[in-house]
Structure 1
Amino acid sequence: MMGPVLAACLLIILSTAWISQANEALCKKDGGVCSCNNNKNSVDCSSKRLTAIPSNIPADTKKLVLNYNKLRELEPKAFHHLSKLTYLSLDNNQLKSLPEGVFDKLAELKTLDLQYNQLERLPNGVFDKLTQLGTLYLDTNQLRSVPKGAFDSLSSLSLVTLTNNPWDCTCNGIIYMAKWLKKKADEGLGGVDTAGCEKGGKAVLDITEKDAASDCVSPNTTTAIPTSTTTPASVIYDDIHEIKVPQENFQKFLGYQEPDHLPTQPQCLMSISGYLGLMMSLMLTSAAILYVFHFLKKA
């Protein structure tokens, strides 16, 4: 009976090696979903048409670029294992909201880029842990106001961009932001004058309580936009051809989390040698299975 036992062990070893090889493909120098610069702890996942963030990004990553993808939503703990991040770019995606606590573990973050998305609301306390943040890009979204106290913890902020948002200056929900911007303008914060009212042509920092007397219901006070019950298949492009990942389980196997622009500098996918390695692992695994069945049949 030693034959089947040894074959089963071989099968487990080969399967583990196969999974490990697929997961490690993320940042191999000769290929992977994202490209890495180990010397600078930098990971570039831009222009991949990703609908989900790869889950096996190295924990010591300091710079993570996820711009020009198709991200529609983020998992609440999407960045919780990346506490070393100092730079995070999510611009030019399709985010409609942010989950509460999504940035809570990024205490060392200095630059956060959320411009060119479709954000309609910010959750309460979303920036509370970002005390080292120096630059915040929020321009070109669909924000009408921000929750009271949203910027209070950003003590290191030196630049904020807020232009191209439909700021609603008729509702008293804008008063917190107007007062904060006016105070920061006196302190020399850059970008405070980039927030303009959707109607009337005024800058938000010039709005008074008399201007915004209405008690309106703001999108920032509503519940988060419900997430879809179905997840579109992730599609990753290289320079020449495309490879579709249609099955949810296989998507997770390749290192994606569950949750989505135009490619500008597509990176390499998986190297040919990586594929050959996977095929070899499959062949050896199949041989091991047949070996097990052979001995079981004889027994």
Structure 2
Amino acid sequence: MGKGVWGIDVSKSSIKAVRLEGDTLTHAGVFPYDSAGTGEAGDLDEQIKATLTQIKSTYKITNEPVIFSLPSHSTFNRLIKLPPVEEAKIPEIVKYEAQSQIPFNIDEVIWDYQYVERDYVPGEEKEVILFAIKRDIVEQFLGNIVDLKFNTEAVQFAPVALFNFLLKDQDMKGATVALDMGGDNTDLIVIDGTKFWVRNLPITGNDITKALQKAFNIPFEEAEKLKLKAGQSQQAQKIFNAVQPILRDLVNEINRSMGYYKSISKTSKFDQIILLGNSTKTLNFQKFVSQSLQLPAIRIQKLNTIQVGG
């Protein structure tokens, strides 16, 4: 292998791994956990470690740098406005603001910020985005895998990775909502130029599966298959009737999030919503979300700046 970098995304149900060499994607894989797991924290740690061992062996990862991403529900982010000071004074002001804005003891978190670079008019407040994660979450994760000897270069949280990808590879026109809906986690990311805001939503793909499980009185695994193949079913209308209340609640959460973002960025106007994750492929999901929000709901059709090779 040449000199590349690995991105490894850790969730509650699976681990995804990709390798980039420059702008070329050379490897990509999804590794679900053993379904026999109990779901307890200790058991999840064991499943993560076992799966990462499998990934390292499968791809023969040795000294190439690895960037891990963790789920967003363990993190905090906030867009804040600072007095119109010169840029050299921003770090000192942000440090003061972080102590009051982050809802944890500052010594218990790992935190950083991103300065929103744009043209500010004289006297305009400066904008920064605060990020924080509980220190013990990172230390527990890294401690759990320390003997696997990955060359860990960074740990970030998944929505930041998604923001970086979309900004680099996709055409972001105006303010965009990205909805990344997995089985056990749903992230909403507002991308507004170089500015972004993240919210973890309480409705996940598993809620859709459970609604189908109840409506059809079938095991969870069968309901999961039905969710993904609903368009081919002869009971399509019954399927949509079962999931519609969940979709309605989801749209309400999206609207709340968009409303909040507009309250802190009053000139922003949303142009589109990007749908990501298998759960968004549920029957009529795209149409329902688009019509309810009165926004184009699109899926990523191709990679624009990243080449697929091997």
- TM category (shorter chain) comes to under 0.3
Between 1 and 2, higher relative CO (CA 8 Å, sep ≥ 6) is seen in 1
Greater Rg, structure 1 or structure 2? 1
State TM-score, norm by structure 1: 0.22
